[in-house]
Amino acid sequence: MTARIIDGKAAAAAVLAEVKARVDAFRATKGRPPGLAVVLVGEDPASQVYVRNKGREAEAAGFRSEQHTLPVTTSQADLLALVARVNADPGIDGILVQLPLPKDIDAETVLTAIDPAKDVDGFHPVNVGLLGSGATDRALVPCTPAGSMILIESVLGPSLAGKHAVVVGRSNIVGKPIAQLLLQRDATVTIAHSRTADLAALCRQADVLVAAVGRPEMVRGDWVKPGAVVIDVGINRIPAPEKGEGKTRLVGDVAYAEAAAVASAITPVPGGVGPMTIALLMANTVTAAHLREGLARPRFGA
Ligand SMILES: NC(=O)C1=CN([C@@H]2O[C@H](COP(=O)(O)OP(=O)(O)OC[C@H]3O[C@@H](n4cnc5c(N)ncnc54)[C@H](OP(=O)(O)O)[C@@H]3O)[C@@H](O)[C@H]2O)C=CC1
Ligand SMILES: Nc1nc(=O)c2c([nH]1)NC[C@@H]1CN(c3ccc(C(=O)N[C@@H](CCC(=O)O)C(=O)O)cc3)C=[N+]21
């Protein structure tokens, strides 16, 4: 079997088209566009690329978009003061503080200081709790998990009843929220991590296999059940001497060619989950704007 390649770029473009239509309607009703503030502390080059991409998409969608770039030496108090300022700005509906933060800043303190109604990352404890209790009418859901679900739905449809989903990775930003969303779609969910015994055998039981580990090509072809749907969340930059000295390339957490020979459908890296993350950030900003203004919640990727 050769797997169907799940086109994350095309799916992201479809979400962004829905976003744009919603932005136009929102602006016509409210007389202002949705607003997104992205905060970057420090000069991590990968983070700079992501933040720039987010700003570009926000402008393309017709948002008010602002970027705050603070030096790596910024104190936690100064960052909290900025968060308080954007919390209080009525024209800002979404706030994203790019992770990771410098080591002297406590990320949990900063994320908890964001107004949950503006928490378009879905990382605030209020949104984590709403997601965990199934209140998806009110929760802001993390972008990468929400985007991954749209890709899964594009292959398997809305119900995962009877399917075993294995999520490798238990981070608060990816693994745990993806597991919650899979559970809500009636999958039987197993969450694996670095202390899981016989990971390969467990993965071989998965009808839906989600890799969110951060280890290049760790999931091998013989870990994949024939016909499984494989979602590769990993983004790893590795040396690519074949492209020339000092060059790099992006790979996922899945050994793509091996897995694609066994799976029924698989996301590529790049061009899979990554573009969906950015599209869902825009969608969450539109959702936050609607909820803050008392308008009906829009749905994306339906
Ligand atoms: N496509 C996108 O838009 C995004 C991609 N990413 C990418 O997704 C990946 C995961 O990110 P994130 O969740 O933040 O990473 P974290 O480092 O926070 O979490 C990694 C998880 O993988 C587990 N793990 C690590 N090594 C192993 C192993 N050998 N066997 C089994 N489990 C293991 C860890 O287990 P334990 O808890 O036991 O330590 C942990 O739960 C990264 O490649 C990241 O770049 C992240 C965000 C967005
Ligand atoms: N507060 C916060 N929210 C995040 O959502 C967040 C974060 N911090 N920190 C870092 C991770 C990572 N992340 C990605 C977003 C887009 C791509 C993406 O667009 N990837 C492209 C390739 C991009 C490239 O070429 O480098 C793709 O996969 O096709 C990847 C990764 C969001 N994150």
List the single range of 44-48, 156-160, 228-232, 275-279 with lowest mean pLDDT. Answer: 44-48
Residue 302 has what pLDDT? Answer: 73
- Both tokens of residue 80? 């909290």
Element (H, E) at 166: strand 164-168
Inter-CA distances, 288 with 34, 91, 299, Å = 9, 12, 12
**93, 119, 121, 207: which one is catalytic?**
121
Please state, in angstroms and rounded to a whole number, the distance separating the CA atoms of residues 261 and 268.
Answer: 13
Q: In percent, how much of the chain has pLDDT > 90?
A: 94
Residue 234 CA: which ligand is closest?
A: 1
Write the pLDDT tens digit of every residue in 226-239: 999 999 999 999 99
Inter-CA distances, 280 with 60, 124, 150, 199, 299, Å = 14, 17, 10, 30, 11
Output the DSSP codes for 226-249.
Answer: TT-EEEE---EEEE-GGG-TT-EE
Q: Which of 108, 58, 98 minimizes the C-alpha distance to 284?
A: 58
Q: What angle do CA 138, 144, 150 make, to 5 degrees?
A: 75
Among protein residues, the one whose CA lies closest to atom 3 of ligand 2: 98
Look up the CATH number of domain 30-116: 3.40.50.10860
- Both tokens of residue 76? 């936690």
Q: Is 274 in the pocket of ligand 2 (CB under 6 A)?
A: yes
Partners of residue 38 on adjacent β-strands: 67, 96
**What is the location of CATH 3.40.50.10860 in the chain?**
30-116
Q: How crowded is residue 64: how many other Cβ atoms within 10 Å of its Cβ?
A: 17
Atom of ligand 2 nearest to the CA of 46: 26
Pocket residue to mutate for ligand 2, from 5, 48, 49, 50, most atoms within 8 A of Cβ: 50
Ligand-binding annotation for 235, yes or no, is yes
The question of whether 207 is a catalytic residue gets the answer no
Is the pLDDT at 32 greater than 80, yes or no? yes
Is the pLDDT at 1 greater than 80, yes or no? no
- Both tokens of residue 72? 């790596």
**What is the location of CATH 3.40.50.720 in the chain?**
143-274
* Side chain identity at residue 171, one-letter code: S
Alpha carbon of 173 to ligand 1 centroid (Å): 9
Verdict on whether the full-model pTM lies above 0.80: yes
Is the pLDDT at 45 greater than 90, yes or no? no
Fold of the CATH domain 143-274: Rossmann fold (3.40.50)
Residue 99 CA: which ligand is closest?
A: 2
Give the pairing type, strands 248-251 and 236-239: antiparallel
Residue 290 has what pLDDT? Answer: 98
Is the pLDDT at 277 greater than 90, yes or no? yes
Write the pLDDT tens digit of every residue in 70-86: 999 999 999 999 999 99
Write the pLDDT tens digit of every residue in 266-275: 999 999 999 9
Please state, in angstroms and rounded to a whole number, the distance separating the CA atoms of residues 205 and 33.
Answer: 46
The question of whether 44 is a catalytic residue gets the answer no
Write the pLDDT tens digit of every residue in 172-195: 999 999 999 999 999 999 999 999
Q: How confident is the model at residue 149 (pLDDT cuts 50, 70, 90)?
A: very high
3-state secondary structure of 222: helix
Alpha carbon of 80 to ligand 1 centroid (Å): 27
Atom of ligand 2 nearest to the CA of 49: 26
Alpha carbon of 290 to ligand 2 centroid (Å): 25
